[in-house]
């Protein structure tokens, strides 16, 4: 990821009057974005779940070539170890296989990113995902749902938030995208741009694009015959990744073999393994949208912590 020379976002009490105005403006774009996306999901029949902060099982965030976690937070409560939520992926698999076939959560994620990520402009150590999952669904269902949600959002923003977008000088840059979004295979992008394909495609594309076939955590679907992964990221022009998701693994033997292959601690995933063994884990698909990244792109910020009332810049801790 390219390190830019950028000024790091300051806490609220240190902002000038002009900076406070800009902060308020981005806050309004965040409010409207949350309203539009949650309305779309509710209108499409999704149930809105509240998040959890502490669990025995959370996202291993491994293996992922981009992972940069400095520290994992684990504490004992009631005599048992719990971890702070890195993502609610495991909860989504269980919930969408049982009582909540179509669900979404505004889920706070804690990832203590290495301090060297302070100036990527794309990393904060606490952020919120709009995380969703659908039972008996496939990648194409996620693509059309997300494309629809983004087109509705941008159309509404251009109508209702015109003065905020113009204050942020984003009226021209933010346009309703053409659908369907183009789909690229990560292997092709690697052949074209080399290992820094993420920066390559983000710079070149003028429209949002899907990238598929990205090797990563055990819960994303991998075709053992072809070696291809049925997963995806959404990349925004001049910005980069804003969403990751996948069709999921649900068969016991595959999940077990991937957990063992990745040397992920099996004990942390015993519930999901047991459900899979009993045939109670269903084929689902879903994704998570990083809210600060999406609103950061819309607002044209240099650092996504500008979208947070209380910035969480890697490497620095404030009183609030
Ligand atoms: P990256 O490679 O950019 O560091 P990631 O692929 O490790 O991110 P995921 O595990 O896919 O991140 O997380 C799902 C989504 O959550 C991402 O697509 C992004 O929008 C958001 N996200 C992930 N990490 C961060 C972070 N440190 N700060 C802000 N948003 C994040
Ligand atoms: N939210 C992502 C997903 O649905 C998981 C993650 O946060 O990495 O796949
Ligand atoms: Mg990702």
Contacts (Cβ under 8 Å, ≥6 apart) of 241: 122, 198, 202, 233, 234, 235, 290, 293
Q: For residues 49 and 177, is the Cβ–Cβ distance under 8 A? A: no
| Cis status of the peptide bond prior to 63, with omega within 30 of 0 | yes
H-helix or E-strand spanning residue 306: none
- 199 alpha carbon, closest ligand: 1
User: H-type helices in 72-138, by residue range?
Assistant: 89-97
For residue 8, report the distance from its CA to the centre of ligand 3, in Å: 23
Q: Which residue, 48, 50, 51, is CA-closest to 35?
A: 48
Q: For residues 88 and 107, is the Cβ–Cβ distance under 8 A? A: yes
Give the pLDDT confidence of 169-186 residue by residue, as tens digits.
999 999 999 999 999 999
Quickly state the pLDDT bin for 4 (edges 50, 70, 90): low
- 128 alpha carbon, closest ligand: 1
Q: For residues 93 and 58, is the Cβ–Cβ distance under 8 A? A: no
Strands (E), the chain: 47-49, 54-55, 69-71, 74-77, 80-84, 102-110, 112-113, 126-135, 182-185, 209-212, 221-222, 229-236, 240-247, 284-290
Whether residue 290 has its Cβ less than 6 Å from ligand 2: no
- 220 alpha carbon, closest ligand: 2
Whether residue 245 has its Cβ less than 6 Å from ligand 2: yes
Angle of the 270-277 helix axis to the 89-97 helix axis, nearest 10: 30
Closest Cα to atom 7 of ligand 2: 87
Quickly state the pLDDT bin for 64 (edges 50, 70, 90): confident
Whether residue 288 has its Cβ less than 6 Å from ligand 2: yes
Tell me the average pLDDT of the chain: 97
pLDDT at position 6: 86
Closest Cα to atom 27 of ligand 1: 123
Residues lying with their CB under 5 A of ligand 3, a single-atom ion = 244
What distance in Å separates the CA atoms of residue 278 and residue 250, rounded to the nearest whole number? 11
Q: Which residue, 310, 289, 312, 293, is CA-closest to 302?
A: 293
Contacts (Cβ under 8 Å, ≥6 apart) of 318: 11, 310, 311
What distance in Å separates the CA atoms of residue 13 and residue 10, rounded to the nearest whole number? 8
Query: Which CATH number is 12-170+249-255+263-307's, of 3.40.640.10, 3.30.930.10, 1.20.140.150, 2.40.50.100?
Result: 3.30.930.10
What distance in Å separates the CA atoms of residue 113 and residue 130, rounded to the nearest whole number? 20
Give the pLDDT confidence of 222-279 residue by residue, as tens digits.
999 999 999 999 999 999 999 999 999 999 999 999 999 999 999 999 999 999 999 9
Give the pLDDT confidence of 122-153 residue by residue, as tens digits.
999 999 999 999 999 999 999 999 999 999 99
DSSP string for 196-220: GHHHHHHHH-SS-EEEE-----TTB
What distance in Å separates the CA atoms of residue 237 and residue 173, rounded to the nearest whole number? 10
Residue 223's Cβ-count burial label (10 Å; 0-12, 13-18, 19+) is exposed
Any idea which residue has 């409010």 for tokens? 31
- What are the φ/ψ torsions at residue 253 (nearest 5 degrees)? -65, -35
Q: Which of 145, 287, 291, 294 to mutate to test the pocket of ligand 2 (most atoms within 8 A of CB)?
A: 287
Question: What are 83's two structure tokens?
Answer: 């971890």
β-pair partners for 287: 132, 245
What are the structural domain ranges in the chain? Answer: 12-170+249-255+263-307
Give the pLDDT confidence of 249-262 residue by residue, as tens digits.
999 999 999 999 99
DSSP string for 154-193: HHHHHHHSHHHHHHTT-TTT--PPPSSPEEEEHHHHHHHH
Length of the chain: 320
Closest Cα to atom 6 of ligand 2: 87
Whether residue 87 has its Cβ less than 6 Å from ligand 2: yes
Q: Which residues line ligand 1 (CB under 6 A)?
A: 64, 66-67, 111, 113, 122-124, 127, 129, 241-244, 288, 290, 292-293, 304
What distance in Å separates the CA atoms of residue 272 and residue 249, rounded to the nearest whole number? 11
Q: Which of 84, 89, 106, 219 to mutate to test the pocket of ligand 2 (most atoms within 8 A of CB)?
A: 89
């Amino acid at each position: 990821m390219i390190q830019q020379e950028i000024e790091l976002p300051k806490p609220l009490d240190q902002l000038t009057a002009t900076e406070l105005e800009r902060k308020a403006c981005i806050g309004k774009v965040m409010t409207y974005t949350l309203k539009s996306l949650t309305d779309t999901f509710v209108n499409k029949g999704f149930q809105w779940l509240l998040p959890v902060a502490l669990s025995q099982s959370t996202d291993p965030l491994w293996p992922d070539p981009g992972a940069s976690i400095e520290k994992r937070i684990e504490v004992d409560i009631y005599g048992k170890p719990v971890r702070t939520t890195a993502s609610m992926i495991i909860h989504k698999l269980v919930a969408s296989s049982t009582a909540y076939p179509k669900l979404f959560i505004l889920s706070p994620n804690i990832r203590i990113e290495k301090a060297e990520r302070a100036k990527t402009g794309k990393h904060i150590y606490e952020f919120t995902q709009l995380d969703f999952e659908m039972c008996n669904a496939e990648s194409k269902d996620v693509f059309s749902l997300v494309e629809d949600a983004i087109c509705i959002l941008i159309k509404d923003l251009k109508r209702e938030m015109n003065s905020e977008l113009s204050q942020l000088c984003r009226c021209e840059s933010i346009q309703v995208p053409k659908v369907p979004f183009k789909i690229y295979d990560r292997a092709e992008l690697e052949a074209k741009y080399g290992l820094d394909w993420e920066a390559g495609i983000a710079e070149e594309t003028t429209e949002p694009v899907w990238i598929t076939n990205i090797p990563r955590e055990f819960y994303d679907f991998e075709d053992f015959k072809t070696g291809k992964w049925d997963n995806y990221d959404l990349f925004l022009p001049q910005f980069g990744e804003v969403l990751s998701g996948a069709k999921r693994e649900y068969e016991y033997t595959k999940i077990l073999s991937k957990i063992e292959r990745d040397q992920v601690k099996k004990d942390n995933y015993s519930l999901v393994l047991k459900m899979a063994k009993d045939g109670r884990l269903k084929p689902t698909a879903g994704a998570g949208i990083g809210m600060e990244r999406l609103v950061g792109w819309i607002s044209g910020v240099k650092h996504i912590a500008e979208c947070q009332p209380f910035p969480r810049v890697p490497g620095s801790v404030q009183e609030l």
